[in-house]
Structure 1
Amino acid sequence: MNKWIIVFLCLAFAKASLAQESENIKLPVVRNFEVSYLYGTILEHNPDIAHLITDHPSGVMLRYNRKTYGEKEWESRYNYPDWGITAVYQDLKNLYLGEVYSAYGHYNFYFFNRNLELSLGTGLAYINRPFDPVTNARNNAYGSRITSSTYLLVDYKRENIYRGIGFQAGFTIVHYSNANVKAPNNSTNSWLFNVGLNYNLGYDKAPAYKKWEKTPYSEKISFNAVARIGVNESDVRGSGQYPFYTFSFYADKRIGFKSSLHAGTEVMISEFLKEYRDYQANSYPENGITGDENFQRVGVL
């Protein structure tokens, strides 16, 4: 009798183990590589940079994408996005703006039977000809050699048309700015058309997409406090960098895997505003700034 109980327990344990392994099965890795040619224009979002828009910028975008197939639950919920890294070279076709080299981390999201790709990337850019009061005073777009950069890409994309090779075409918006860490910082926004080829490494091993069952999810209300610190400068060149402080207090209620409700307040203290206020009051009294204005801000979210 005892031996049959032991056999039954062993079989039950083996079945449970196999079920768990099937849930956590390791899917093959499929990687996608893209190369695209860029050509477009710099948008005149600020008339102060009009003198810097003299020709159509061009460049090259290289992207590495790691495909997802539902190995983790979030991949299924977001329609199996890609994640990866991007490298961009851009010639801004202006003597004072020069050339830009940038690198990003990105996510790709797919729509319309995975033919439409929306990609969001954020990272850093290297400016080879930033503002210099002696050698490059006309570049009022970039006050520092290193800036932050963000891009939005929308592509019609077809993969694996022939032996893993596909193509993509669409448009990209690339933003360069140093967030006023150092003046000047009028920044640039490039609207670029792109066309190129892509290749799926491991295309012949691509698994089927794993669909996770949708289940309701919620959390109790939680309370949060966040403190941030940084430095920035006013638009007056040479006015100096000053610290800023941000304090946030808010409650959040998660109502699903993708959605949550937030309510709270935020206090922002920018020391550069105090200096800028005093500068305006002393140098340009005709502007109506007295020097008594509050340089702190409070917001509701």
Structure 2
Amino acid sequence: MFFSLGRYNFSRNKEWAARLNYPKTGISAGYIDFGNSEKIGRAYILMPFIEFSIFKKSVSGLNLHIGIGGSYMDTQYNIETNALNKAITTKVNWSFRSFVYYDMFKSNTTDWRFGLGFLHHSNGHAKLPNQGLNSLAASLSAKIDTKTKPKIDTKPHNFKSKSQTYITTRFGFGQNVLSETFNTKKEVYTFSMSAGKIINNTFKFGGGFY
């Protein structure tokens, strides 16, 4: 079960919104039961999301929804009491959600939608074992607008194409687990440098080393 609260980005003054075909943005809260409450348990999820219209010229009502955030798992791996659950070892984990939605029935304020998607949960190797949980899912949902849908200005935006050069460096310090044999946290030090181009204040392309 997911509940999402978001907003339209129809302002023509926002270049990033115009370049990305005026996506929706917001935050989602979710609850997942993995079907084995005793050994795998349930997930409680909170994540920001962005949703785009895709293949708009050929398929009306098709949208790509992407979210990344965190989840709390109420059941974890334990070598004595839950040794078969090698997917989740920590209570707090990263979560990723990607769905394609198709608007089947539309009204002025409500769209009934069918969705197909993928969900992933893992702790990023903060503790092992960390095989992660991956789910393929189908959904039926309703998108309810608080007022009549705003009219989209279909005129092309008038932002001029431009590019900027960037150079960036990053230092980091953290903890990670590298081996199940030594399942204790180790210090991790990072340094990275990259350079590239920012196109139209929206798309960033570059390369470097770490």
Same-fold call, TM cutoff 0.5: yes
Q: Secondary structure at the match of 1:141?
A: coil
* 2:27 alignment counterpart: 85
Q: 1:260 to 1:133 in 2, by over 3 A?
A: closer
* 2:6 alignment counterpart: 65
> 2: CA distance between counterparts of 1:263 and 1:65?
33
Give aligned-pair identity as a percent: 25
* 1:169 alignment counterpart: 114
The residue correspondences of 1:137-176 to structure 2 (distance < 5 A) are 137-157=83-103, 161-176=106-121
Give deviations 1:149-200, integer Å, cap 9, x for gaps. Answer: 01111111257x2341221112120100001101121111100011122211
What is the aligned-residue RMSD (CA, Å)? 2.0
> 1: CA distance between counterparts of 2:85 and 2:167?
45
* 2:128 alignment counterpart: 183
Deviation at 1:73, TM superposition (A): 2.5
* 1:111 alignment counterpart: 54
Q: 1:158 to 1:214 in 2, by over 3 A?
A: farther
Q: Secondary structure at the match of 2:79?
A: coil
Query: Which has a greater percent of strand?
Result: 2
Q: Secondary structure at the match of 2:145?
A: strand
Give deviations 1:269-299, integer Å, cap 9, x for gaps. Answer: xxxxxxxxxxxxxxxxxxxxxxxxxxxxxxx
| Partner AA of 2:4 in structure 1 | R
Bigger radius of gyration = 1
Q: Tell me, yes or no, if structure 1 residue 234 matches structure 2 residue 178.
A: yes
> 2: CA distance between counterparts of 1:66 and 1:106?
11
Q: Tell me, yes or no, if structure 1 residue 76 matches structure 2 residue 18.
A: yes
| Partner AA of 1:167 in structure 2 | W
TM-score normalized with structure 1 length: 0.63
> 1: CA distance between counterparts of 2:205 and 2:107?
46
**Residues 226 and 249 of structure 1 are in contact (CA less than 8 Å); yes or no, is this contact kept in structure 2?**
yes
> 2: CA distance between counterparts of 1:157 and 1:257?
31
**Residues 83 and 107 of structure 1 are in contact (CA less than 8 Å); yes or no, is this contact kept in structure 2?**
yes
The residue correspondences of 1:220-299 to structure 2 (distance < 5 A) are 221-236=165-180, 239-266=183-210
Q: Which runs of 5+ in 2 are unaligned?
A: none
Q: Which runs of 5+ in 1 are unaligned?
A: 1-59, 267-301
**Residues 183 and 238 of structure 1 are in contact (CA less than 8 Å); yes or no, is this contact kept in structure 2?**
no
**Residues 185 and 235 of structure 1 are in contact (CA less than 8 Å); yes or no, is this contact kept in structure 2?**
no
Deviation at 1:243, TM superposition (A): 1.4
> 1: CA distance between counterparts of 2:179 and 2:40?
19
> 2: CA distance between counterparts of 1:103 and 1:238?
31
* Count of residue pairs brought into register by the alignment: 204
TM-score normalized with structure 2 length: 0.88
> 1: CA distance between counterparts of 2:198 and 2:192?
18
Query: Which has a greater percent of helix?
Result: 1
* 1:120 alignment counterpart: 66
> 1: CA distance between counterparts of 2:39 and 2:181?
17
> 1: CA distance between counterparts of 2:87 and 2:181?
12
> 2: CA distance between counterparts of 1:127 and 1:251?
38
**Residues 15 and 202 of structure 2 are in contact (CA less than 8 Å); yes or no, is this contact kept in structure 1?**
no
